[in-house]
Structure 1
Amino acid sequence: MSRYPEVKWAQRADKVFITVQLSDSKDAKVNLEPEGVFNFSGTVGTGNTHYELKLDLYDKVIVEESKINVGVRSIFCILEKAEKVWWKKLLRGDGKAPHYVKVDWDKWVDEDEDKGAGNLDSGGMDFSNFGGMGGMGDMMGGMGGMGGMDEFEGSDDEGQEATKPDEHGAGTSEKKEAEAST
């Protein structure tokens, strides 16, 4: 029986950031289709517990320009949107996002604050060594962890409030609005 890993996401006008949080995954495979279908599978632990998921993304993506990094604690993906527009939510359809899909508040930027692709700190990670996904689909499995990934890893502060207060100290409406859109 398969389980679902926790998935965090954020976006810019031209990109979607997806982080699959799965420590010490083995045989991690990601397959991205131009229609906006994101598939992941991998195993964890001595019992080889199998995790997999399929996300029908809100819109189309450019597979050849998308990038992936399989790290020790997570799989970090930068997906290039086919159209440079803000998505209303991560997944297509009218239903609510599954419980394991959450907003990545560490990477989240509001639409009116988006200044383009250059505003995400990649933590010194060199994606040129990984190349694009290039339609190679699940060939991406087995890439070892990379140094400098600490900034992309899940926070150990699970119990802390995840909102980013505005200049007046508010922040809960932003959080609720973003969660409603996932």
Structure 2
Amino acid sequence: MSRCPEVLWAQRASKVYLTVSLPDAKDVEVKCEPEGLFKFSATGRQGEKYECTLELYGAIAPEGCRTKTGLRNILCSIQKEQKGWWKRILKTEEKPAPYLKIDWNKWCDEDDEEIDSDLSSEDGAASENDGDSSDDDGLLYLPDLEKARGK
């Protein structure tokens, strides 16, 4: 029998960010299907199996989905098929499972994103919201800063 890892989520108009909290994960598999199905499986530190399947609110573009495995978590950037804000993360209107939580470190309100986009446009800088962002967009997570610095 498998367990469900903690999953944190946040969204932007064009992307959904999912952070799976699973230190020292091995055999990580992430699958994104066009109808909005997100499947995750991995093996934990002591060989325990973790799995989770989420039926996301809207359709996604699997070719625009990126995954990055860190020391403490697995970061997934999922491209929405159509740009726009979802009113919730899951298709179902029921209360989400206790392992699915909001990622306040990446959270951005719809109004805040528009302001950030306007400020970036004024500076002539490329915005994360305009679709020209890098593959690592939003994938650097604070606990992995030491790894990024090479420590």
Provide the C-alpha distance between the structure 2 equivalents of 1:42 and 1:71, rounded to a whole number of angstroms: 13
Equivalent residue in structure 2 for 1:151, among 142, 145, 149: 142
Equivalent residue in structure 2 for 1:127, among 114, 118, 135: 135
Provide the C-alpha distance between the structure 2 equivalents of 1:62 and 1:40, rounded to a whole number of angstroms: 17
- Tell me if 1:49 matches 2:48: yes
Equivalent residue in structure 2 for 1:118, among 121, 128, 136: 128
Which of the two has greater helix per residue?
Answer: 2
Provide the C-alpha distance between the structure 1 equivalents of 2:141 and 2:64, rounded to a whole number of angstroms: 24
Instruction: State whether residues 58 and 91 of structure 1, in contact with CA within 8 Å, keep that contact through their aligned partners in structure 2.
Output: yes
TM-superposed CA distance for 1:51, in Å, is 0.5
Q: CA RMSD in A?
A: 1.9
Provide the C-alpha distance between the structure 2 equivalents of 1:111 and 1:150, rounded to a whole number of angstroms: 21
Provide the C-alpha distance between the structure 2 equivalents of 1:88 and 1:70, rounded to a whole number of angstroms: 28
Q: Which runs of 4+ in 1 moved over 4 A?
A: none
Change (3 A) 1:152 1:14: farther
TM-superposed CA distance for 1:88, in Å, is 0.6
Write out per-residue CA displacement over residues 122-156 of structure 1, whole angstroms, 9 at most, x where no aligned residue: xxxx737xxxxxxxxxxxxxxxxxxx945266xxx
Match of 1:76 in 2: 75
TM (norm. structure 2) is 0.78
TM (norm. structure 1) is 0.65
What SS does the aligned partner of 1:64 have? helix
Instruction: State whether residues 39 and 53 of structure 1, in contact with CA within 8 Å, keep that contact through their aligned partners in structure 2.
Output: yes
Paired amino acid for 1:118: E
Instruction: State whether residues 72 and 143 of structure 2, in contact with CA within 8 Å, keep that contact through their aligned partners in structure 1.
Output: no
TM-superposed CA distance for 1:71, in Å, is 1.4
Unaligned runs of 5+ in 2: 118-126, 145-151
Provide the C-alpha distance between the structure 1 equivalents of 2:13 and 2:89, rounded to a whole number of angstroms: 13
Instruction: State whether residues 76 and 152 of structure 1, in contact with CA within 8 Å, keep that contact through their aligned partners in structure 2.
Output: no
What SS does the aligned partner of 1:61 have? coil
Change (3 A) 1:152 1:34: farther
Change (3 A) 1:18 1:5: same
Match of 1:60 in 2: 59
Paired amino acid for 1:40: F
TM-superposed CA distance for 1:84, in Å, is 0.6
